[in-house]
Homo-oligomer: A and B are copies of this chain.
Amino acid sequence: MPRMQLTKTIIINTALSLAEKQGYEAVTMANIARSLSIKPPSLYNHFKNLEEIKHAMAETAQKQLYEALKSTEKGAQPLLSLAKAYVHFGSSRPGLYTSSLPGGTNEVSEALVQLIADSLTSYSLGESKKIHAIRGFRSMLHGFIDLNKHEGFKLDVDLEKSLEEMVGIFERGL
Residues of A in contact with B (beta carbons under 8 Å apart):
101-105, 109, 128-129, 131-133, 135-136, 138-144, 146-147, 150-154, 157, 161-162, 165-166, 168-174
Q: At the interface, is chain A mostly helix, strand, loop or mixed?
A: helix
Q: Which residues of B contact A147 (CB under 8 A)?
A: 135, 138-139, 142
Determine how many copies of this chain the complex contains: 2
Q: How far is the CA of A166 from the CA of B144 in the complex (A)?
A: 15
Contact at A142–B146, with CB atoms within 8 Å?
A: yes
Q: List 20 A-B contacts (CB under 8 A).
A: A105-B152, A109-B152, A128-B157, A132-B157, A132-B169, A133-B165, A133-B166, A135-B162, A135-B166, A136-B165, A139-B143, A139-B144, A139-B147, A140-B140, A141-B143, A142-B152, A143-B143, A143-B146, A169-B170, A172-B173
